[in-house]
């Protein structure tokens, strides 16, 4: 059974629809096909040469797996080949229980990059952040390794300490010691904050919708007069599409949640909500940031488009593509993770590269506000060189000063974005919520002035 994921083989299908055109294009198609066969022969020649002449004996299986993964990762950052062990690991993760550190990672130019640490896991407790680069594991470089090979080095026996070498923007490389645990990930938790409930969802595995419903029911039982709900999707790297649909459905009375569209314009699949809102129309705010990706963006986009909730925080990651997991020989030869579609919010917008923009933009700290203002330090789907293109004419919002950041008198131990979400619930909407002064962002001003200067035509010297 195929699984649709919103996180990272090659299949060629000749359908009945194309058969009618075979006779018309037989001559034109012959040359490209012959070239494909020639290139496959070249691959065999290279493999044979490596086997015979490389300085040490080689493992053919490892070479071919690496070639498959290289072919797929050249398409986009989220496609890839999973060997049998990697496929088993992925299934363990989507079931919500596995051994490791609790990191969602990807690869960028041969370097392992953190998308997000998972809540309450060793990685999160160790202070790892979205955008961190992992350059070595236990002193052994992982530069140039595939993501699956790097992850294998990070996984192992629970209780053992793993030393990660981290490269972080504006910091010298440093080591972090992390103790492996059995990750029994509970993706949905809830708590009361005064008159409001906070439902935290850290990822989307097979249990997320049920956990979210149970968590909300528990806090609602404690305070039946709860006045509003904050859905916290910050640092949520995504997961299973059906669970994103399920969570969205908890808060909607009907209508479209999301659609996915493949290469063929007629290949459209729509997902709709069923009647029944577990909150009975309770006011809602959704919290997002640049670590909110994929399945989490589906939920935020659906609730925003359907006017069910307003969004507070920062523009989301911008991963608007769907990956299909295609087992090979029932998984005996691993699986392909192949990008097969883009997803679209109910209003018909694709957020690939661009992300979900909040209704009220709020940075969690002044440093984060400065990061948003500095184009060099933004981490998002758009920062990947081979990311699937956005829809024509759409671009991610340029560097700018965020609308709000914590004022000098705000308690640094408190969550400023959460506080502003509570303000929106208190006042009834973003429009009615009193705004705070826009923070000063020096680098944004310098960057903006430089761009203006570049755009101006050169003025000839006066005579």
Chain segment 344-368, per-residue pLDDT in tens: 999 999 999 999 999 999 999 988 8
Please, which residues have CB within 8 angstroms of residue 70's CB and are 6 or more apart in sequence? none
Together in a domain, 127 and 274: no
pLDDT at site 194: 94
- Residue 106: name the closest of 324, 293, 368, 313 by CA: 293
18 confidence band (pLDDT: 50, 70, 90) = very low
Together in a domain, 146 and 204: no
pLDDT at site 31: 59
Together in a domain, 240 and 325: yes
pLDDT at site 32: 63
Together in a domain, 178 and 190: no
pLDDT in tens, 435-444: 998 877 665 4
DSSP 336-404: EEEEEEEEE-TTS-B-TTT-PPPSEEB-SSHHHHHHHH-GGG--SGGGSTTPPPPSTT--PPPS---SB
The residue ranges of DSSP E strands in 289-334, in sequence order, are: 310-313, 321-327
Average pLDDT over residues 24-35: 55
User: What gap in Å lies between CA 123 and CA 166, rounded to an integer?
Assistant: 12
Average pLDDT over residues 4-26: 32
Residue located via tokens 């755009």: 455
Residue pair 275/41 in contact by the 8 Å Cβ criterion: no
Together in a domain, 250 and 385: yes
Most confident range, picked from 11-20, 121-130, 190-199: 190-199
Is pLDDT above 60 for 91? yes
User: Which residue, 183, 215, 230, sits at the end of a domain?
Assistant: 183
Together in a domain, 274 and 206: yes
235 within domain boundaries: yes
pLDDT in tens, 40-77: 999 999 999 999 999 999 999 999 999 999 999 999 99
- Residue 104: name the closest of 4, 168, 183, 199 by CA: 183
Together in a domain, 243 and 380: yes
Residue located via tokens 């961190």: 132
User: What gap in Å lies between CA 141 and CA 87, rounded to an integer?
Assistant: 24
419 within domain boundaries: yes
User: What gap in Å lies between CA 206 and CA 243, rounded to an integer?
Assistant: 7
9 within domain boundaries: no
Helices (runs of H) and strands (runs of E) counted in the chain: 12, 21
Mean pLDDT in the chain? 85
Maximum CA extent, the chain: 82
User: How far is residue 364 from each of residues 86, 177, 402, 404, measured CA to CA in Å?
Assistant: 36, 26, 10, 9
315 within domain boundaries: yes
Together in a domain, 124 and 174: yes
pLDDT at site 150: 86
Burial status of residue 131 (CB atoms within 10 A of its CB: 0-12, 13-18, 19 or more)? buried
pLDDT at site 98: 62
User: What gap in Å lies between CA 271 and CA 362, rounded to an integer?
Assistant: 31
User: Which residue, 140, 163, 183, sits at the end of a domain?
Assistant: 183
Torsion angle (degrees, nearest 10) of CA 129, 135, 138, 141: 170
Is pLDDT above 60 for 12? no
Average pLDDT over residues 132-143: 93
HEC-encoded secondary structure of 403-432: CECCCCCCCCCCCHHHHHHHHHHHHCCCCC
For residue 230, give both structure tokens: 């904050």
pLDDT at site 327: 94
* Torsion sign (Cα): 224, 229, 233, 239: positive
Give the least confident one: 231-245, 343-357, 447-461.
Answer: 447-461
User: What gap in Å lies between CA 275 and CA 365, rounded to an integer?
Assistant: 39
Is pLDDT above 80 for 193? yes
For residue 71, give both structure tokens: 């072919």
250 within domain boundaries: yes
Number of Cα atoms under 13 Å in the Cβ half of residue 49: 6
Together in a domain, 159 and 276: no
- DSSP symbol at 99: E
CATH number (domain holding residue 373) = 3.90.226.10
User: Which residue, 134, 155, 183, sits at the end of a domain?
Assistant: 183
Burial letters 202-238, b for 16+ CB under 10 A, else e: bbbbbbbbebbbebbeebbeeeeebebbbbbbbbbbb
Residue pair 220/256 in contact by the 8 Å Cβ criterion: no
pLDDT at site 132: 93
Percent of the chain with pLDDT over 90: 60
Residue 161 lies in domain: 97-183
Is pLDDT above 70 for 341? yes
User: What gap in Å lies between CA 371 and CA 365, rounded to an integer?
Assistant: 10
Residue of higher predicted confidence among 4 and 23: 4
Together in a domain, 102 and 175: yes
Please name the helix (run of DSSP H) or strand (run of DSSP E) that holds residue 73, with its range, or none: helix 60-73
For residue 287, give both structure tokens: 């919290």
Kindly list the catalytic residues: 294, 305, 319
55 within domain boundaries: no
Together in a domain, 166 and 191: no
260 confidence band (pLDDT: 50, 70, 90) = very high
Is pLDDT above 60 for 445? no
pLDDT in tens, 267-280: 899 999 999 999 99
96 confidence band (pLDDT: 50, 70, 90) = low
Determine the angle formed by the axes of helices 84-95 and 147-154, rounding to 10 degrees: 70
Burial status of residue 452 (CB atoms within 10 A of its CB: 0-12, 13-18, 19 or more)? exposed
According to DSSP, the residues that pair with 5 across neighbouring strands are 240, 323
pLDDT at site 16: 25
196 within domain boundaries: yes
């Amino acid at each position: 059974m195929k699984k649709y994921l919103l996180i990272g083989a090659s299949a060629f299908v000749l359908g009945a629809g194309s058969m009618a055109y075979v006779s018309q294009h037989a001559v034109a198609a012959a040359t490209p096909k012959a070239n494909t066969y020639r290139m496959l022969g070249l691959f065999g020649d290279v493999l044979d040469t490596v086997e015979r002449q490389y300085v040490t004996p080689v493992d053919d299986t490892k070479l071919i797996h690496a070639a498959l993964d290289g072919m797929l990762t050249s398409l986009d950052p989220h496609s890839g080949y999973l060997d049998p062990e990697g496929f088993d690991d992925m299934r363990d993760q989507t079931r919500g229980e596995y051994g490791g550190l609790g990191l969602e990672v990807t690869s960028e130019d041969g370097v392992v990059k953190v998308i997000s640490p998972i809540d309450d896991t060793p990685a999160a407790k160790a202070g790892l952040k979205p955008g961190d680069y992992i350059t070595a594991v236990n002193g052994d470089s992982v530069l140039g390794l595939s993501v699956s090979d790097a992850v294998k080095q990070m996984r192992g026996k629970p209780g053992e300490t793993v030393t990660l070498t981290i490269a972080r923007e504006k910091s010298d490389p440093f080591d972090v010691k992390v103790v492996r645990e059995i990750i029994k990930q509970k993706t949905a938790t809830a708590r009361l904050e005064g008159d409001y409930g906070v439902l935290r969802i850290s990822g989307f595995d097979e249990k997320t919708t049920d956990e979210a419903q149970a968590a909300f029911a528990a806090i609602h039982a404690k305070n039946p007069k709860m006045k509003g709900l904050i859905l916290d999707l910050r640092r949520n790297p995504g997961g299973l599409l059906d669970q994103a649909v399920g969570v969205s459905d908890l808060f909607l009375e009907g209508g479209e949640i999301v659609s996915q569209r493949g290469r063929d314009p007629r290949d459209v699949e729509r997902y709709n909500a069923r009647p029944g809102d577990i909150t009975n129309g309770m006011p809602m705010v959704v919290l997002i940031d640049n670590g909110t990706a994929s399945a989490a963006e589906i939920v935020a986009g659906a609730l925003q488009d359907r006017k069910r909730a307003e969004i507070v925080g920062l523009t989301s990651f911008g991963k608007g593509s769907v990956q299909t997991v295609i087992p090979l020989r029932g998984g005996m030869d691993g699986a392909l993770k192949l990008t097969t579609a883009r997803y679209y919010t109910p209003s018909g917008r694709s957020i690939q590269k661009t992300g979900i923009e909040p209704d009220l933009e709020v940075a969690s700290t002044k440093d984060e506000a400065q990061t948003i203002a500095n184009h060099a330090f933004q981490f998002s789907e758009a920062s990947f060189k081979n990311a699937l293109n956005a829809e024509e004419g759409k671009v991610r919002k340029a560097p700018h000063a965020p609308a709000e950041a914590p004022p000098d008198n705000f308690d640094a131990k408190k969550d400023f974005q959460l506080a502003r979400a509570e303000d929106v619930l208190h006042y009834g909407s973003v429009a009615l919520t009193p705004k705070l002064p826009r923070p000063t962002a020096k680098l944004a001003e310098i960057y903006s002035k430089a761009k203006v200067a570049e755009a101006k035509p050169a003025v000839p010297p006066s005579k």
